[in-house]
Amino acid sequence: MNRFHVHLNVSNLDDSIRFYSQLFASTPAVVKDDYAKWMLEDPRVNFAISTTGRSPGIDHLGIQVDSGGELAALGQRLDAAGSTVVPEPDATCCYARSDKMWTEDPQGTRWETFHTFGDAVTYYAADDACSMDGAACSPGAATTKAKTESTGDCCAPASGCC
């Protein structure tokens, strides 16, 4: 079963953990110095917060799937929707290892679709030369692809960094 994903940037992690723990009547499943995540069943959502560099507010939305096959099917739906889809295989991000696909909706909201298959001990990949501005693991899908193709700069989703 798919799980909706919301990632918020927050200005104070401790205050936000207290607030969302009360709101959800649940403690986070993961807590790090710069990150917390609740895996809720009611509503079924992967809700994450971090203090990794962007302005407070919604960082990105997403859908977490249970298998690589479901991710491939979701990727086909994203492609049919007409936006650029940027794959990010074997990514280390948010203390997890996942295969991902990124896109943007018509308003520019970033969408992450992903299948997580393991834990990681770091927020980003160990070779984190690509952490951009310290932001969450969510490059602007179309802009990141275009930047990499035109300049060869770091942080193409295929690099597994962001």
Q: What average pLDDT score do residues 71-75 get? A: 93
Q: What average pLDDT score do residues 28-37 get? A: 97
* One-letter amino acid for residue 14 of the chain: D
* Predicted pLDDT of residue 126: 60
Distance CA 76, CA 96 (A): 24
Residue, of 127 and 57, whose pLDDT is higher: 57
Domain topology for 3-159: 2,3-Dihydroxybiphenyl 1,2-Dioxygenase; domain 1 (3.10.180)
The 10s digit of each residue's pLDDT in 116-156 is 999 999 888 765 434 434 445 655 444 444 333 333 322 33
Task: Look at 51-60, 89-98, 130-139 and tell me which has the smallest mean pLDDT.
Answer: 130-139
* Predicted pLDDT of residue 23: 85
Query: In the chain, where are the structural domains located?
Result: 3-159
Per-residue 3-state assignment (H helix, E strand, C coil) for 90-137: EEEECCEEEEEEEEECCCCCEEEEEEEEEECCCCECCCCCCCCCCCCC
* Predicted pLDDT of residue 116: 94
